[in-house]
Amino acid sequence: MKHLRNALLISASLVAGAAFAEDAELVVFDWAGYEDPEFYVDFTEKHGDGPTFAFFSDEEEAFQKLRAGFKADAVHPCSQSVPKWIEAGLLAPLDTSKITEWDNLEPGFRDIKAYWQDGKPYFVPVDWGNTALTYNTELLKPEDVQSLKAFIDPKHAGRVSIPDNVDDAYALGFLATGVRDWTNVTDEQVQAASDFLRQVHQNMRAYWTDGASLAQMMQSGEVYLAWAWNETFSTMSAEGHPIAMKRDTDEGSSSWVCGYSKLADAPGNEDKFYDFVNAWLAPRTADYIVSAWGYGHSNAAAMSKMSAEDLAAVGLETSDKLRAGTLWQAPTSSDLREKLIADFEKIKAGF
């Protein structure tokens, strides 16, 4: 766990395009922290070192940088962005015959139509998780956080943090205003979600950009109420901090899936791209991401061998009630996504 925390702290300083250079024949454009070598052990064992990494802080930044000509071989988008990236011509189709665990992947992630074009997939899911209300159990009681409306309660002013991420932010906004499916929202529902986030903005200590920065704020007590990924609960609870993740609020929580895509006109070694993906999909990686990061893995065969107790310990438990209360961050239209991005930038600027 200490190794993971150090890796996150180091990688946070490398965000916004800086590179962590090893194998020059495979450049991976990724979220900070995912250069953790435990994610691609099979690749390193085969090739002697890991890929070269470049980092982005959010997907819109990554999209704009790639559109401007930045060259890499692999990229790590999440579910909502993939259709937009396909439409923009940034991604190349995948050869599933070279992906050894393809048939073992969770079909609910692998077979989403928005990730396919002309009968070919453009996205291989690897990690998934939840975004949910997370709080300091010494400073707040369960009844204080039974509703997502806690994020706009004036008594929590200056002690709140949510992600600097349009998808997670609007998952909170839509849930809090009664929407659990954002694929067909009306203009009025978008406005209600934006208005809620404007109220949240009034209580904000800071928008967090990575798990390490949020953990630091929560460990100090500077922030005691957050909209956070499983990683925060998993790592902080393992270190003995008083923290809980509440997915069963009155309005529910959110879930997401991310994965790797091959970039169009990738300059590197294609075989190494598939070796990297196969290393990520290996059962040993599934065991690691669940136990060390608290995230789920797309290898359904590997996940099926994990106990319900182990999954619950990192906030990955499931039930009919939890599923019914979950907003799935499904792919959306490009028009809606652009509107949410524009609105979120205004909200953060105080408008």
What is the 3-state secondary structure of 118-178? CCEECCEEEEEEEEEEEEECCCCCHHHHCCHHHHHCHHHCCCEECECCHHHHHHHHHHHCC
For position 19, what pLDDT does the model report?
55
Quick check: 48 and 89 in contact, CB under 8 A?
Answer: no
- Per the listing, tokens 């999909």 go with 281
For position 214, what pLDDT does the model report?
95
Q: How many residues does the chain have?
A: 351
With 0-12 / 13-18 / 19 or more C-beta atoms within 10 angstroms meaning exposed / middle / buried, residue 298 is buried
For position 319, what pLDDT does the model report?
59
Q: How far is CA 101 from CA 40, 96, 144, 155, 275, in A?
A: 14, 9, 44, 49, 12
Nearest to 91 by CA among 221, 230, 217, 263: 263
Average pLDDT value over all residues in the chain: 90
Q: How far apart are CA 208 and CA 204, in angstroms?
A: 10
Q: How far is CA 46 from CA 72, 234, 243, in A?
A: 21, 31, 40
Q: How far apart are CA 200 and CA 193, in angstroms?
A: 11
For position 314, what pLDDT does the model report?
74
Tokens representing 37?
A: 């070598």
For range 164-174, the mean pLDDT? 95
pLDDT at 13 over 70: no
pLDDT at 201 over 60: yes
Angle, CA of 52, 58 and 61, to the nearest 5° = 85
Percentage, residues of the chain above pLDDT 90: 77
Nearest to 130 by CA among 5, 227, 9: 227
Residues paired with residue 129 on neighbouring β-strands, in sequence order = 256
pLDDT at 15 over 60: no
Q: Give, to the nearest 10 degrees, the angle between helix 334-348 and helix 166-176.
A: 90
For position 312, what pLDDT does the model report?
78
3-state DSSP call for residue 89? coil
For position 313, what pLDDT does the model report?
75
Nearest to 335 by CA among 181, 184, 177, 147: 184
For position 6, what pLDDT does the model report?
37
Between residues 248 and 313, the one the model is more confident about = 248
Read off the pLDDT of residues 311-350 as tens digits, 9 standing for 90 and up: 877 777 775 666 777 999 988 888 898 999 999 999 999 9
Q: Give, to the nearest 10 degrees, the angle between helix 334-348 and helix 187-203.
A: 30
Q: How confident is the model at residue 5 (pLDDT cuts 50, 70, 90)?
A: very low
Q: Do strands 74-75 and 23-31 pair parallel, antiparallel, or not at all (unpaired)?
A: parallel
Q: Which domains does the chain have, with CATH numbers?
A: 23-128+256-319 (3.40.190.10), 129-255+329-349 (3.40.190.10)
CA quadruple 65, 213, 34, 230: dihedral, nearest 10:
-120
Q: Do strands 225-229 and 160-161 pair parallel, antiparallel, or not at all (unpaired)?
A: parallel
For position 80, what pLDDT does the model report?
84
Q: How far is CA 300 from CA 107, 126, 303, 314, in A?
A: 9, 10, 5, 17
For position 311, what pLDDT does the model report?
83
pLDDT at 8 over 50: no
For position 21, what pLDDT does the model report?
66
Q: How far apart are CA 43 and CA 40, in angstroms?
A: 5
Q: How far is CA 201 from CA 41, 179, 301, in A?
A: 41, 20, 42
Q: How far apart are CA 275 and CA 25, in angstroms?
A: 12
Q: How far apart are CA 239 and CA 166, in angstroms?
A: 29
For position 307, what pLDDT does the model report?
86
Segment among 18-27, 29-38, 119-128, 166-175 with least mean pLDDT: 18-27
Quick check: 189 and 179 in contact, CB under 8 A?
Answer: yes
